[in-house]
Chains A and B, each alone.
Chain A
Amino acid sequence: MSMVHRSVVYDWLRHDKKFPHVWCPGCGLGILLGSLVRSLEQSGFDKNQVVLVGGIGCSGRLPVYVDVNTVHTTHGRALTFATGIKLAKPDLKVIVVMGDGDATAIGGNHLIHAARRNLDLTAIIVNNLNYGMTGGQYSPTTPLGSKATTAPYGHLEAAFDISALTVTAGASFVARSTVYHVTQLDQMLLTALERKGFNVVEVLSPCHTNYGRQNRLGSQIDMLKGFKKQAVRMERWDKMTPEQREGRFSIGVLAEHTRPTFWENYQGAIKKARAAKGEG
């Protein structure tokens, strides 16, 4: 099995890019990259038809390593570029990779409107609970009370639940997993790639260099073990009391429904516009 996976990953990576990658040793983004590549391979998309769009931050550096069409955009705006690309060429498979600060702070407005609009896009939001690239400042998902380089006395704000936010905003498919739960993550990404509409996968990933160090969570291995302990399958989560949920989070599919996408609705506008012209 592992031999097969290695060759698949090798197949989808660029070999004219100067490795090593920019991430810290032990970063979860490499695990996500592997998971994404396996899901792409399994979905059977042609490399030429796949566009991988990134924002700014550690996660924004992911697209450059993959041998597809890749666009590294501006901070928080990846979804806006992806919207233009998808509308311009609806046949392309457009995947957007963002971080928690990228997607829900500076890009929060774009995220909720992309979910509401329901254009066919796959949004992968890597949540490492802080701004890693800039040195560990607090983000919209930093837990209340946690330390950050801009919260030396503990974080004073409540955190966003990214998945719940996108469910409310109208995303067609919303799922959450972690880089520890790789098999589940592979499956979620595959579903998010193959479904119609705006599909979100939130991926918890450890930032041991910044968030972990400041909050004394140990090594990257310790943090992965922490995910294993804290993550609760949705079916069990629903039956838990608020006390039992303390210090834990749910993983699984939060929403899965089908409604007309923007592009499907747009076909109606084209028909009406043409009929109106024809009448004259």
Chain B
Amino acid sequence: MAVAKSRAKSRSRGVKGQARLLQGNEAASLGALAAGCDFFAGYPITPASEITESMSRELPARGYPFIQMEDEIASIGACVGASLAGRKAMTATSGPGFSLMQENLGYACIVEAPVVVVNVMRGGPSTGLPTNVAQGDVQQARWGTHGDHPAIVFCPSSVSECFELMVKAFNTAERFRNPVIFLADEMVAHLREKVVLPAEGDLEVIDRRRPTVPPDWYVPYKTDGSLIPRLADLGQGYRYHVTGLVHDERGFPTRRADEVEPFYARLFGKISRHFDDLMLTKSFSLDDADLVLISYGCTARACQAAVRLGRERGLKLGLLQLLTLWPFPRAAVEEALTGKRMALVPELNMGQVSREVKRVNDGRTQVFRHSKMDGSMITPEEILQRLKEVV
């Protein structure tokens, strides 16, 4: 009893505007709750289970539903169902479960259901390296589900970013009516760091736009200039049809080219029209740098250290950290590459982001990759060593 009491105390002590020691997964859960998450369905998998466990404690206390489903397919299915019924829903998994979720992730895309999917990356393919760190799911997060579709993917490098980006993930899902993937990695998810959580009033929380017209006037997929339709909760009085088939403005299946083409144009357009709001990056010592590192997730932390060490050794080294992986932050990357002697992209895969950087580079500078796939982190010394090789 005494133990339970002191634990509860420490939990409430650290809530607002105060420093706390938190694990990445814990911070992600707290970020979700702060953003208004009121539904969670998941399936156990390392290294994401702490999120599922913490939601199983926190949601009942708030009177909200939590459920552990029979698999990851069911978990995301339940989340999309709950989302259509008006909830802010989240699920959390790792690579093997993320593969299973691809089917209903596509469904969320086509019916435009806001939902947040956490994938804490571990070594793959298949069961792979449970549960060493890896960054091998970057392209899967973009292209995993079949059919061409837009994707929004955020990637934290620190525990405080786990909190902040999770709030951003919910806000983005709600605003754009699109699934958002929160692509963490084992290292960041299990890292413990000091975090200062923002006070409740300091957080911007966005809710989906719901219809304001009478039910008879509601045309479910008709939009204004934002291209983002208003979403009625199931049971709110707006009886309409939701389908994974391509549909017309009323939500009914269609194969008419003059309805199909505008459907896809809007699905992509609602994201591309707002690219600027989605591109999150951070730069470190880039202003006078002639060598640039481009990285993300746990590897960006090693890069931050490499920048410090390199500067001590007289290298004009800088870092562009990507917090948004998709849509690919083209403008920021182009700017970081322009006028540089060379660029290096360290990552825990065989070049999933470096190929994007090379695509965007378009002759600006020389781009090299530094890949590592042995289940461990890239160290700052390795980065500096690789720089020495390529310069």
Contacts and interface: CB of A to CB of B under 8 A. Distances in A.
Contacts of A17: 241, 252
B8 interface: yes
B74 A110 contact: yes
Interface in B53-67: 57, 60-61, 63, 65, 67
Interface string A83-104: 1110111011000000000000
A81 B63 contact: no
B244 A72 contact: yes
A6 to B, nearest CB: 22
B360 interface: no
Contact of A64 (B75, B79, B80, B241): B241
A279 B4 contact: yes
A71 B9 CA distance: 44
Interface in B65-87: 65, 67, 69-71, 73-75, 77-87
Contacts of B365: none
Interface in A88-136: 88-89, 91-92, 109-110, 113
Given A83-B67, A280-B9, A47 B103 contact: no
B234 A274 contact: no
Contact of B242 (A16, A72, A89, A273): A72
A70 B244 CA distance: 12
B235 A51 contact: yes
Q: Give the contact-size bracket for chain B.
A: 35 or more
A47 B233 CA distance: 14
Q: Which of A69, A83, A88, A262 has the most CB of B within 10 A?
A: A88
Interface in A201-247: none
B9 to A, nearest CB: 5
B8 A84 contact: no
B245 A85 contact: no
Interface in A255-280: 262, 266, 269-270, 272-274, 276-277, 279-280
Given A64-B252, A77-B77, A85 B107 contact: no
A14 to B, nearest CB: 8
Contacts of B143: none
A187 to B, nearest CB: 26
Contacts of B104: 74, 77, 80
Contacts of A70: 239-242
A28 interface: no
Contact of A266 (B65, B86, B107, B252): B65
A84 B81 contact: yes
B233 A89 contact: yes
B80 A84 contact: yes
Q: Mostly helix, strand, loop or mixed at chain A's interface?
A: helix
Contact of B245 (A69, A72, A113): A72
B357 interface: no
A279 B5 CA distance: 6
Given A64-B252, A72-B244, A113-B70, A83 B8 contact: no
A74 B103 contact: yes
Interface in B27-46: 39, 41
Contacts, number: 156
Contact of A68 (B5, B63, B239): B239
Interface size bucket, A side? 35 or more
Nearest to A275: B61
A168 interface: no
A54 to B, nearest CB: 9
A109 B8 contact: no
A88 B81 contact: yes
A273 B60 CA distance: 6
Given A49-B235, A89-B233, A113-B70, A81 B78 contact: yes
A48 interface: yes
B41 A84 contact: yes
B269 interface: no
Contacts of A272: 60
Interface string A48-60: 1101010000000
A85 B60 contact: no
A77 B73 CA distance: 8
Contacts of B85: 84-85, 88-89, 92
Contact of B86 (A49, A64, A88, A91): A88
A223 to B, nearest CB: 28
Given A17-B252, A88-B86, A280-B9, A80 B4 contact: no
Contact of A88 (B39, B77, B239): B39
B63 A69 contact: no
B253 interface: yes
A88 B11 contact: no
Count chain B CB atoms within 10 A of each CB in A67, A72, A92 and give the residue with the most: A72
Interface of A: 14, 16-18, 47-49, 51, 53, 63-64, 67-74, 77, 79-85, 87-89, 91-92, 109-110, 113, 262, 266, 269-270, 272-274, 276-277, 279-280
Nearest 3 CB-CB pairings of A with B: A280-B8, A84-B81, A80-B77
14 contacts: A17-B241, A69-B240, A77-B104, A80-B77, A81-B77, A84-B77, A85-B234, A87-B82, A88-B82, A89-B234, A279-B1, A279-B4, A280-B7, A280-B9
Interface of B: 1, 4-5, 7-9, 11-12, 39, 41, 57, 60-61, 63, 65, 67, 69-71, 73-75, 77-87, 89, 103-104, 107, 233-237, 239-245, 250, 252-253
